[in-house]
Chain A
Amino acid sequence: MIWKQDVECADSAQLKKLQSDRLQKLVAYIYQRCPVYRQKLDAAGISPDNIQSIEQITELPFTTKEDMRDNYPFGLFSTGQSEINEIHVSSGTTGNPTLVGYTKDDLKLWSDVMARSICCAGAEPGDTIQIAYGYGLFTGGLGFHYGALEMGLRIIPTSAGQTARQLKIMQDFKPRLIACTPSYALYMAEEAKEMGIEPTEGSWKIGIFGAEPWSESMRQEIEAAWNMLATDVYGLSEIIGPGVAQECTYKDGLHIFSDVFYPEIINPQNDEVVPEGDDGELVITTLTKQGIPLIRYRTRDIVSMNCEKCRCGRTSPRISKIKGRTDDMIVVRGINVFPSQIEHVLIGIEGTQPHYQIIVDRKAHKLDEVEVLVEVDGRFFSDEIKKLNELQQKIRKDIASVLSISAKVTLVEPKTIERSMGKSKRIVDKRTI
């Protein structure tokens, strides 16, 4: 089933017209209502009247994560606070988190694109969906919730964690759909076996997995373990949360809902649009958002794009799985982690920044583990084990409060962390995903 047949399958002329109209309105709207953007557009010499067609989007300035951070909390809003109905927060690169606010219409948009996503993955009216993404400030849980509600599915909002209960609910209520992070899907399969439940006989037949990078081989593993179809969902809170792009049952790229989230793929070095099919940074313009509409937002995700019509009938362009990042962000258990955040913690503790390294590993039990190695130096070395242990605990606690993940902290001797070009190698990702 295709949720929004008219736009999802529109021919390119129709779609272009819609996108052009929307872009024109967006630029006028944002220029009028957001001083930060007005300044940006003025600086670029752009008057809203100049923008008539979607092709002109390349004339517009980019928006970056730094813009979000520098204008925290409300600088990028195009509406007053009273019109904001819901707020979500994700971790930022340093200091300030990224704040996103939704108006009532933005929530409708979110419900709509999430309903499209869930349908795209193969859900049918009457299905039951178990939503095991975290509910709360993280956009995963509520985004799926709104979409499933819009579609009229039966929702089991289990949120993340409590695996035994997740499995019991699956057995008792037999939902056909499961939505969670891919690593959690694998983890639950292991746990199921331990509990004497045969995962291949489970009720989940369609999985909608995202919020962290995963590979084709991981897909095969999940599909074999649960005897299900495993699809990929893409999103980021700055744009809307989950529901930016979604794989259909052909699993041949993620359909990006380009009538509302206009995609461009650019070369991050020279900022120019790359030829179709080439790898580049995904840049998204939110054509219809009201609360915090963004123009040419640099996602820092490296993907390629395919504009051919899909076998499923959808004409919306398809992006590849994320092939990398333009920055050093890593995703751990669905949480974005930047080395700069850990730096921040360490500076906060000792006043200076020691050498450190973040090691991410996905051990036998499938969940990501983070270890932070910190080189001990004269400034905080003590002959007392008690004090060194306290230091370790403090670093761990501060990392947990900043990143919401628990990391193992290990003190190591100086110069033991590998240096490359004079700088230490900040991240070692040992996960095979």
Chain B
Amino acid sequence: MKITQISVFLENRKGRLFEVCSLLGSNEINIRALTIAETESFGVLRIVVDKPDIAVKLLHKNGFVANFTDVIAVEVSDKPGGLAAVLQVFADNDVNIEYMYGFVEKFSDQALLVFRFEDTERAGNILAQNEIKIVTQSEIEGL
């Protein structure tokens, strides 16, 4: 039910994001979803890729600080109120979201969103109980 996100520490320096992306690109790793959180002096790049193990090894080998984070990807109806319906479930069940972001591409007519929860396990269970479709790692890899 969980999928693997890679988090990368980035200094606010020219070309750093480019370096990560070109490193992954030239090694045939496809980025499925991406977001950047930034502060005054640094940022954290969060990505979902098709080959996370290889990607992290590559990043480490090239001097980046990167680690795995468990996240959950959820299918949301791509229509007004689609996201709100899912968020309603979280609100009703006291599930805290640390952050979330959308996918770069789709594999159905649904929108795909990545959620980082305070308690991933619990959030996953609640999603399942409420019959909300969760995207699996193999689905991500086959995207």
Contact = CB atoms under 8 A, between A and B. Distances in A.
Contacts of B39: 385, 388-389
Nearest to A385: B37
Interface stretch (B7-15, B80-88, B104-112): B7-15
A248 to B, nearest CB: 48
Interface stretch (A1-9, A186-194, A413-421): A413-421
Contact of A388 (B11, B42, B63): B42
A410 interface: yes
Interface string A234-248: 000000000000000
A381 B9 contact: yes
B89 to A, nearest CB: 23
B63 A415 contact: yes
Interface residues of A, number: 18
B65 A383 contact: no
Contacts of B69: 383
**Majority secondary structure of chain A interface residues (helix, strand, loop or mixed):** loop
Contacts of A412: 11, 42
A377 B66 CA distance: 9
B65 A376 contact: yes
A377 B65 contact: yes
A405 interface: no
Contacts of A378: 65, 67
Nearest to A408: B41
A384 interface: yes
Interface in B12-69: 13, 16, 37, 39, 41-42, 44, 46, 63-67, 69
Contacts of A413: 9-11, 13, 16, 63-65
Interface string A258-271: 00000000000000
B42 A381 contact: no
A411 interface: yes
Given A383-B46, A383-B116, A388-B44, A416 B67 contact: no
Contacts of A388: 39, 42, 44
Given A383-B46, A414-B65, A376 B41 contact: no
Given A388-B39, A410-B42, A414-B65, 8 more contacts: A384-B44, A385-B37, A385-B44, A411-B9, A411-B41, A413-B9, A413-B10, A414-B64
Interface of B: 5, 7, 9-11, 13, 16, 37, 39, 41-42, 44, 46, 63-67, 69, 98-99, 116
Interface of A: 376-378, 381-386, 388-389, 410-416
8 contacts: A376-B9, A376-B42, A384-B116, A411-B41, A413-B10, A413-B11, A413-B64, A416-B11
Ranked nearest first, the 7 interchain pairs of A and B with the lowest CB-CB distance are A383-B7, A383-B69, A381-B65, A385-B37, A413-B11, A376-B9, A410-B41
